Each structure stands twice: as structure tokens, then as C-alpha cells.
Amino acid sequence: MVRFSENTPGKVTAEFDSKDLDPANVRLIKSLNTLLFQLLRTTEEAEFFNNSAEVLRMCAAIIQQSKFPTAHKSDKVPYAHQALEFAMDLLQEQMLKAKIINYDN
């Protein structure tokens, strides 16, 4: 469960149930959110490019450390690797088509 609240103007609070996550997963979530915030606010070119790459790297780490690939290890199928390839193919396709999806909820 993830819940966002905006009780104070200019401040968003995120709350998530971490009971099924190990401490490394929680650290990844915190780090990713911090990095996303920095990425959205930066006006520096180097920080923009470095943080963009780091966001994608962290997302790949989250995919690799998620429960699905671990729960299906006995299947001998590299699910995390396949999921990353699938995601990269879709990203590449969107870049080639110059389609940018705006997720404004």
C-alpha cells in the first residue's frame, strides 16, 4: 500500500507499508525518491544527465531485487533480465518515435 497526502501546502508526504520489504529495498525506495526529486529540480546539465542515468540504474536494481524473480528462481528463467530487456525495448521504441508520455495524475 502506498499513500500520498498533501496536508501542508508545498509539502507531499508519502507513506508505504514496508513490512514485506527488506531494509535494502526500503533504502532503494528512499534513495530513488530523493534522486527523482533532485532530477526534477536541477538546472545544472551535469547533474541532470548523471541523475537521469542513476535513476535508470536504480530502477534496474529494483527490478532485479523484486519478489517476482526471487519467487520464480526454480523456473530457471531469467525474469529480471527479461523484464529489463522488455522495458529497454519499449523505451527505445518510444525514443525512436519521439513519443513522450505525460503521466500527470
Task: Give the tens place of pLDDT for each residue, 32-46.
Answer: 999 999 999 999 999
CA atoms within 13 A on the CB side of 103: 0
Grid coordinates given for 103: 503521466
Domain boundaries, the chain: 2-97
pLDDT of residue 18: 92
Grid coordinates given for 28: 532503494
pLDDT of residue 103: 66
Extract the residue ranges of the chain whose pLDDT is less than 70. Answer: 99-105
